[in-house]
C-alpha cells in the first residue's frame, strides 16, 4: 500500500468515527465500514417518521477510489418502492435535481451529506414536494419552475432542494405517479414494503460476510431491559428525543448487533 493510499484510508476511518459525534448522523441511521473494504460502508435506516416509518432498510454505500472528488453510490439491500430508487438496481439517484446533493461538491460534501440526503428523500417534505404539483389535466402548469428553496428533512437541518419534484426528476416514474395522483394507494403500497422489511426472513436472513451488521431476535424480557437502559441514559443536550426510537423498539421488537462491538440497536443514537 502506498503512503498516499494509507492516508486516504486513514481519513475514511476518521470520517466514519466522526459520524458518532452528537448531531452528526441522522436519527435512525447506523453505518459502519466493511472490515475488509474501507470503500464499502454498510448501514441500516430506521425512518423515524414519514411514509416508511417503522421500516428497517439495509443499505450499502460504495465509495469510489477517487472519493471525495467523485460521489459515493447508495444501494438498498432491501426491496424499495420509491420515486428516486431504481426498481431494478435499487440504487438511490443522488444525481436527481430532487436530491439535496444533486451537484456533488468535493470541497463540501462527504458521506455525512449523503446520509442527510437519504433522510430527506424518506421524509414528509420530499413527498409533499410531489403532491404539491398541480395536475396538468386540471390546471395549466407554471411557465417555469420556481428557483430552489430551503426545506428541512424533519430535524431542523436546512437543505437546498427544488420546491416541487416533477416526474422527469425521478428514476421510478411509476412511483411518482402513484404518489402524486393516488397518495393513499401509494401509502398502502409502501406499507407492504415496510412489512416485508420487518419479516423474519428479511431481518434475520443470511447476509454477505462483508456486512458486519446482524439482526437477532430478543425475548420480551430482554427487550424491556433495553428499553430501561435507554430511559436511564444520561441526558445529552445535543441528543434527540428518545420517544420515537422507544416507540420503534416496542413496535418492531427487534435489536441488532455489530460484529466488532456490542452496539445494540436502537439502544443509543449516533
- Give the separation between CA 74 and CA 62, rounded to whole angstroms: 6
Average the pLDDT over each of 75-84, 163-172, 209-218 and give the range with the smallest value.
209-218
pLDDT at position 193 over 80: yes
Query: pTM for the full model?
Result: 0.74
CATH of 3-213, one of 2.30.30.90, 3.40.190.10, 3.10.110.10, 1.10.1040.50: 3.10.110.10
CA contacts within 13 A on the Cβ side of 46? 25
pLDDT tens figures, 31-44 = 999 888 999 999 99
pLDDT of the residue at 70: 95
99-136 burial, b at 16+ Cβ within 10 Å, e below that, comes to bbbbebeeeebbbbbbbbbbbbbbbeebbebbeebeee
Residue 92, beta-bridge partner list: 74, 85
- Residue 39 near residue 63, CB atoms below 8 Å: yes
Amino acid at each position: 500500500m502506498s503512503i498516499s493510499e494509507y492516508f486516504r484510508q486513514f481519513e475514511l476511518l476518521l470520517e466514519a468515527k466522526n459520524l458518532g459525534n452528537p448531531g452528526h448522523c441522522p436519527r435512525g441511521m447506523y453505518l459502519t465500514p466493511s472490515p475488509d473494504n474501507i470503500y464499502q460502508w454498510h448501514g441500516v435506516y430506521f425512518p423515524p417518521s414519514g411514509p416508511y416509518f417503522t421500516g428497517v432498510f439495509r443499505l450499502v454505500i460504495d465509495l469510489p477510489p477517487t472519493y471525495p472528488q467523485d460521489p459515493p453510490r447508495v444501494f438498498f439491500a432491501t426491496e424499495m418502492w420509491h420515486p428516486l430508487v431504481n426498481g431494478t438496481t435499487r440504487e438511490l439517484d443522488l444525481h436527481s435535481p430532487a436530491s439535496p446533493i444533486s451537484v456533488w461538491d468535493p470541497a463540501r460534501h462527504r458521506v455525512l451529506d449523503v446520509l442527510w440526503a437519504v433522510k430527506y428523500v424518506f421524509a414528509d417534505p420530499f413527498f409533499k414536494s410531489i403532491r404539491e404539483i398541480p395536475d396538468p389535466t386540471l390546471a395549466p402548469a407554471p411557465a417555469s419552475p420556481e428557483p430552489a428553496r430551503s426545506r428541512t428533512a424533519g430535524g431542523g437541518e436546512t437543505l437546498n432542494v427544488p420546491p416541487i419534484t416533477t416526474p422527469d426528476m425521478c428514476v421510478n416514474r411509476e412511483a411518482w405517479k402513484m404518489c402524486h395522483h393516488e397518495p393513499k394507494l401509494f401509502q398502502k403500497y409502501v406499507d407492504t414494503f415496510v412489512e416485508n422489511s420487518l419479516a423474519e426472513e428479511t431481518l434475520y436472513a443470511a447476509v454477505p460476510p462483508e456486512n458486519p451488521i446482524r439482526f437477532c431476535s430478543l425475548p420480551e424480557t430482554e427487550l424491556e431491559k433495553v428499553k430501561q437502559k435507554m430511559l436511564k441514559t444520561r441526558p445529552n443536550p445535543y441528543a434527540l428525543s428518545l420517544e420515537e426510537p422507544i416507540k420503534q423498539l416496542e413496535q418492531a421488537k427487534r435489536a441488532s448487533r455489530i460484529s466488532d462491538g456490542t452496539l445494540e440497536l436502537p439502544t443509543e443514537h449516533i
